Copies of this chain bind each other. A is one copy, B any other.
Amino acid sequence: MAIDEKKIAESVAWRPGGAVKRAEQALMAEKSRVLRPFGLTVPQYAAMYALSLAPGISGAKLARLCSVTPQSMATVLKTLESRGLVERRPSSDHAQVLVTRLSRAGQALLRKADAEAVAVERRLVDAFTPDEIALLRELLERAVVVLAGTGHDDGADSF
């Protein structure tokens, strides 16, 4: 067997998209690993982290900060709320929005989990020179612009 497995693997992997995918996967895997002891998933951690920076934000805004849809954020928040890590209550001035904040337990858990999560990013950053990190970020941002700017014509960049 093994038709040409090596060759095939290369054919599949050569696309830039594959490299991005694998990097994202590796990142998620590693973060999941360090977050698991706290019973948190990566999206849950991300939501709590954003929430620590912007207490009382609406679910929709939180979703935008975390780059997910409001629906995804809703499910994440629902589980977090069921565990008592966040609290949601109707806003006083906007009957429609639910004000969300970390509970005390949530803050305490986040503090510990954040240390681990930051350590992962740090391991990553430390493996490169500052120039390389800046370059990587710049290239990725450019890729986002190219990809997002095609097709539905958001404009915003041209001119």
Contacts and interface: CB of A to CB of B under 8 A. Distances in A.
A12 to B, nearest CB: 5
A74 interface: no
A147 B19 contact: no
Given A12-B66, A67-B22, A146 B123 contact: yes
Q: Which secondary structure dominates where chain A touches chain B?
A: helix
Contacts of A66: 12
Given A9-B65, A27-B20, A67-B22, A124 B143 contact: yes
Interface stretch (A28-36, A76-84, A103-111): A28-36
A156 B119 CA distance: 23
Contacts of A71: none
A42 B30 CA distance: 23
Interface in A1-52: 3-5, 8-9, 11-12, 15-27, 29-31, 33-34, 49-50
How many copies of this protein are present in the complex? 2
Contacts of A121: 15-17
Given A20-B27, A26-B144, 4 more contacts: A17-B121, A23-B147, A120-B147, A128-B143
List the 6 closest A-B pairs by CB distance, nearest first: A24-B24, A26-B147, A127-B146, A19-B140, A23-B140, A26-B144
